[in-house]
Structure 1
């Protein structure tokens, strides 16, 4: 068992050095190349900030893994002000008895440096060839490491997720259903939706080599969607996305979760930029499915070049269709752009769908099916 002392750079309240938001990739690669750093099969990576009320259950679940390879737990405490550090230290003997190495470090500055920073630090001090990401408020089931490790061996350049069970029961019902029901093909086609990464961060498992090629995580701190930024960068570099179908994680919902601090507009901009980069740059023209608020917002968020590619809006609302056009009043062009509004059956593919999934009692899904379109070719979901 190893307790790593805090880096003196981050040890006190007077610390004033500014670090880059994204540490150099070469640092990660250099550590990976160090034979001392790759002696364990899997490192479980846990960032911690004021998680004392959940840690006992989380740590016990790591000890309950049925994985037969070598396992390590690497924890970084990001300026907790509760009993988190004491709880972590109290588990050393239990991990030692199970021959699971445990590395603990952290800092005690006045302010936490954020999830991205804590994850990067936990990874740097770890030694596993594969990384299993775990949030301190969640609980992994006993087969998680073994099943995801087997999947990662077959797909070393992929982010591997798994099914989840949400607690409290019934919280974020639509989101949870989407996490567990999305098809293997949709893991790649639905990366532009507001749900975020198609395999959620608390279920990620990947090789250290792939992490170092893509990462590290953005260290911008509170409000930065470090998981979505990493996920998109992984896709840019040709990374795969896969999921172990079984439920392998109890995924806890609570108001203190870091995800609640991320601004909706930040996520929106990232999604729009990635959509333009990966999809719209390949299309000569397209239709926005939804002439209402969300469809118009997407149009206004597009670059001028991509706005010119919008041949029409389409909808099922007769009131919107009867108006005939959407006029972009904020445009500096003269005359102002007027985009036709059509019934969806009169519109032409490809489409960007700006209607929320699983919100129309199947009407949207049936309409798409009636047109015999192929997701990822004829349309992409954005909302």
Structure 2
């Protein structure tokens, strides 16, 4: 009989963290049937020895363990490993887990309850970061987004509004959207899946409890993805989901990030930019921005205005939580609605 929940665990050289990770699977208080589906992506350390040790403990507690993998010279990547772990599993629901993270005992129970209520959503949760002071702004963003912002802030550089190691969803919905991109190292497979999920009308729900210890490791696969790669995907998604519906818009930030966005837009989207806006008087006094590398003749001269003189909708290219609250106060003073009158991009 298929399990109710399959824990999806890709593994590559995870020896230092696996004991703690697998212990957290054993300690789940979920009362339904569970299985652990492990896919070993060419580990060269003692990961498989640890997994075999825990297999007996887990199966002794009624948690079936399915193990797959390969021993090729090089790993095939996280997307491939997750797809393989899902393919060999049987659960009606999928709980994603990274091999260096630790689940709280109530994670599967609470996310399963939410997934039953929201069958076409990705269910996330709040996290506790390890080390505690790493990526403080990002961690606040993960944990403090309001429910509507889980859909309005999908364009920012932070990526998916519920972080991938917290994902939980039905197998049926995964099959409708997936699989993960298998391009390997350097491919943002979680971001691409998240975008496809949204394209198909999927929802985003967060359980507002800290259900995962989320470890920060500078050498992880996520760190291997080039910022320029993610930028290109984000700009294309912004154009597809928002800008094509707007007759015109203003870029909030006449500095480097705002100009970079302008230059990255397609020709059609660039024509919709009616102004840049800013608070910096030096930038405003310049009067306009001209994209010198543009092939258009005559070259567009885009006005630079004070934000109070500009008109919405805005694409905000100022980073959140970095201006001592000034950006957020300025936005509130205009009485705008996020998602309709402005979108955050940086």
Q: Same fold (TM over 0.5)?
A: yes
Return the offset for 1:310: 0.2
What's 2:229 paired with?
266
Q: Structure 1 residue 219 and structure 2 residue 176: aligned?
A: no
Secondary structure at the counterpart of residue 159 of structure 1 = strand
In structure 1, runs of 5+ residues without a counterpart are: 1-35
Q: CA deviation at 1:256?
A: 2.1
**Number of the residue aligned with 1:371:** 334
Shift of 1:318: 0.4
CA distance in structure 2 between the aligned counterparts of 1:345 and 1:238, rounded to whole angstroms: 35
**What is the alpha-carbon distance in structure 2 between the residues aligned to residue 305 and residue 381 of structure 1?**
21
Q: Secondary structure of 2:92's match?
A: strand
Please state how far the C-alpha of 1:165 moved relative to its aligned partner: 0.2
CA distance in 1, matches of 2:205, 2:56: 35
Q: Deviations over 1:113-149 (max 9, x none)?
A: 0000000000000000000000000000000000000
Question: Which of 159, 172, 179 matches 1:196?
Answer: 159
SS in 1 for 2:172: helix
Q: CA deviation at 1:259?
A: 0.6
The corresponding residue for 2:112 is 149
Displacement after TM superposition at 1:257 (Å): 1.4
2:209 is the counterpart of 1:246:
yes
Deviating 4+ runs (over 3 angstroms): none
Paired residue for 1:61?
24
Structure 1: how far apart are the matches of 2:310 and 2:100? Answer: 47
Return the alpha-carbon distance in structure 2 between the equivalents of residues 42 and 156 of structure 1: 14
Match of 1:128, SS state, is: coil
Q: Distance in 2 between matches of 1:333 and 1:92?
A: 64
For 2:94, the equivalent position in structure 1 comes to 131
Q: Deviations over 1:175-226 (max 9, x none)?
A: 0000000010000000000000000100000000000000000000001000
Q: Aligned residue for 2:77?
A: 114
Q: Distance in 1 between matches of 2:261 and 2:282?
A: 20
- 1:77 matched to 2:40: yes
Cα distance, 1:167 vs. partner?
A: 0.5
Query: How far is the alpha carbon of 1:245 from its aligned partner?
Result: 0.3
Give CA deviations for 1:19-46 in whole Å, capped at 9, x if unaligned. xxxxxxxxxxxxxxxxx6xx11000000
Counterpart among 137, 140, 145 of residue 174 in structure 1? 137
Report the Cα distance in structure 2 between the residues aligned to 1:119 and 1:339, rounded to whole angstroms: 46
**Partner residue of 2:297?**
334
Q: Does 1:351 align with 2:337?
A: no
Paired residues, number: 346
Partner of 1:93: 56
Could you tell which deviates more after superposition, 334-343 or 131-140?
A: 334-343
C-alpha distance in structure 1 between counterparts of 2:29 and 2:219, whole Å: 31
Indicate which of 184, 197, 200 corresponds to 1:234.
Answer: 197
Within 1, Cα distance between the matches of 2:310 and 2:218? 42
TM-score (norm. length: structure 2): 0.99
Q: Deviations over 1:270-313 (max 9, x none)?
A: 11000000100000000000000000000011110110000000
Unaligned runs of 5+ in 2: none
**1:103 matched to which residue of 2?**
66
Q: Counterpart of 1:10?
A: none
1:293 — aligned with what?
256
Q: Could you list the per-position Cα deviations for residues 319-338 of structure 1 after superposition, in whole angstroms to 9, with x for gaps in the alignment?
A: 00000000010111122111
SS at the partner of 1:132? Answer: strand
Structure-1-length-normalised TM-score: 0.90
Output the CA distance in 2 between the equivalents of 1:355 and 1:255. Answer: 25
